[in-house]
């Protein structure tokens, strides 16, 4: 299969999920060694899960199927440029290559405006639209100290 074939598979996931009423018009496939190992479509409204974006659902399925939390030998094909949450999930999964169809501007034109989140990320916490303030940092540091000293930790 070609890159175009994989992108068409992601687009088909977007269309199928949307038409089935699972969520917005977004689809994704994860590919490993020329084979689709996972598929995802947006399931936000059908699962009442704001994190159930197509990329996240596909990454979760790929990790479960491959029994790993790092997909560094995979590629991700998504019908739309990833939002900030999905982009972060892609980085955490260590996926080295992403192909996308629609742009975030295309998504904004139909009511999915991620630009607000992109604008919020670089702001200091106290300047963000969501109220954020530190609390009990000294107590929270205990778990971090324990992790730092843990000999059998699995790094990720």
27-32, strands of its sheet edge to edge: 35-41, 27-32, 74-80, 97-102
Look up tokens 């607000």; give the residue.
116
Active site residue 35: no
End-to-end CA distance of the chain: 31
CA angle 67, 90, 150 (to 5 degrees): 60
Strand locations in 14-63 (E): 27-32, 35-41
Reduced 3-state DSSP string for 108-133: HHCCCCCHHHHHHCCCCHHHCCCCCC
Catalytic residue among 13, 35, 55, 139: 55
Distances (CA, A) of 141 to 92, 130, 136, 137: 23, 24, 9, 6
Active site residues: 55
């Amino acid at each position: 299969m070609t890159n175009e074939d994989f992108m068409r598979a992601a687009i088909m996931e977007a269309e199928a999920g949307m038409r089935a009423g699972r969520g917005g018009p977004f689809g994704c496939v994860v590919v490993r060694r020329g084979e689709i190992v996972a598929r995802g479509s947006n399931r936000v409204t059908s699962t009442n899960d704001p994190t159930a974006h197509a990329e996240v659902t596909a990454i979760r399925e790929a990790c479960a199927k491959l029994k790993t939390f790092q997909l560094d030998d995979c590629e991700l094909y998504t019908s739309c440029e990833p939002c900030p949450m999905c982009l972060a999930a892609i980085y955490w999964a260590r996926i080295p290559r992403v192909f996308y169809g629609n742009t975030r501007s295309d998504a904004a034109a139909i009511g999915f405006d991620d630009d607000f989140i992109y604008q919020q990320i670089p702001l200091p916490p106290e300047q963000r639209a969501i109220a954020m303030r530190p609390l009990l940092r000294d107590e929270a540091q205990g778990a971090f100290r324990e992790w730092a000293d843990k000999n059998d930790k699995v790094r990720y």
